[in-house]
Amino acid sequence: MGSLWIGAFVGFLITLGLGWLFPGLGHLIGGFIGGLVAGLIANGMIKGAFAGLLAGIFGGIIIAILAIIGFVAAGAFTGGVLGGLLGGLTGLWVGLIAVILAIFGAIASTIGGLIGGLLTRERKH
């Protein structure tokens, strides 16, 4: 019997890694591959789809948080305190866009999780 949470965590790590290396399209592809692996670990169609959904949601939230932190750091480094504040505002907008686009990543992760869970289900002869 597979673990839903371990599958979601491993899928999240794959989504985060590919999303970080290849921003944009890499997050969608990473979401699908992460969901597929999450489904394989979760062992079952429903558990795989749910693990993929969790991996996609967590991946999108963490990418948004990292975008906000990155813009704050870049603004503070180049413009001091005021630059950090403006970088924070810019990071909030980019983070909001990242969360909206993470919906597509969560859908891709759910589809990948469903397929991964489908590959592991037991066949009755």
Answer whether 60's CB lies under 8 Å from 85's CB: no
- State the Cα–Cα distance between residues 3 and 26, nearest whole angstrom: 26
pLDDT at 1: 55
Q: Which residues contact 21 (CB under 8 A, 6 or more apart)?
A: none
Q: Is 108 exposed, middle or buried (0-12, 13-18, 19+ CB in 10 A)?
A: buried
Residues (pLDDT < 70) of the chain are 1, 123-125
- State the Cα–Cα distance between residues 88 and 118, nearest whole angstrom: 43
In a domain, 52, yes or no: yes
**Helix, strand, or coil (residue 59):** helix
Answer whether 84's CB lies under 8 Å from 95's CB: no
In a domain, 111, yes or no: yes
pTM, full prediction: 0.80
In a domain, 125, yes or no: no
**Total domain count for the chain?**
1
Q: Is 69 exposed, middle or buried (0-12, 13-18, 19+ CB in 10 A)?
A: middle
CA 67 to chain centre: 13
Q: Could you tell me the residue range of the domain that residue 18 belongs to?
A: 4-120
Among 106, 120, 114, 115, CA closest to 30: 106
pLDDT at 125: 62
